[in-house]
Amino acid sequence: MKKVLLLLANGFEFFEASVFIDVIGWNLEEGDNTTKLYTCGATKEIKSAFNHCLIADLLIDEVDVNEFDALAIPGGFEVYGFYNDAYSDKFLELIREFSAKDKIIASICAGALPLGKSGVLKGKNGTTYRRADRREELKSFGVNVLDQPIVADDKLITSWNPATAANVAFMLLELLTDKENTDKVRKLMGF
């Protein structure tokens, strides 16, 4: 079983998190049945942007990186406190651990910014939300910021807005399984 850890900061966007949950879940039930997703946060109860709550499966301190094949990180809203968690030492260290063990890391929108701050994107290509200040911030972390919707550099995937979310989740699934299986799941989901 290939395991995906969905790392959630307070202020995360539910839509961006939900595509990972659904694509990996559809594969578990209707695809090749080889993937499972677990949620994780700094606290058990995580409040999303727009103030909806989710109960995490794991706390960051409970995560054994060796048990997972990939890390998924949705973006979020600053006004809901996204960067308080996303830029915390615990979040950044977990990202570094996944990278050091050569695991896949897929992010959506502002989810690329903690990748940049952690240092795992330094000297690599990436993208993030298309607001000038966010793109400049990513660049300040030593990232070669490309003006394209999705950027994959080695096992690191970044994207620029919620519209890219499903494609990022399908890219992750393809890296975990294969193209034929991913195409099957994509078709079953109506994409």
The dihedral over CA atoms of 26, 28, 31, 34, expressed in degrees to the nearest 10, equals 150
| Tokens encoding 7 | 């790392």
CATH (domain of 183)? 3.40.50.880
Per-residue pLDDT of the chain (191 residues; tens, 9 = 90+): 999 999 999 999 999 999 999 999 999 999 999 999 999 999 999 999 999 999 999 999 999 999 999 999 999 999 999 999 999 999 999 999 999 999 999 999 999 999 999 999 999 999 999 999 999 999 999 999 999 999 999 999 999 999 999 999 999 999 999 999 999 999 999 99
Domain that holds residue 83: 2-188
Give the number of other CB atoms < 10 A from CB of residue 102: 8
What integer pLDDT is reported at residue 188 of this predicted model? 97
pTM, whole model, 2 decimals?
0.97
Structurally, the chain folds into a number of domains equal to 1
Task: Tell me which residue has tokens 């959630």.
Answer: 8
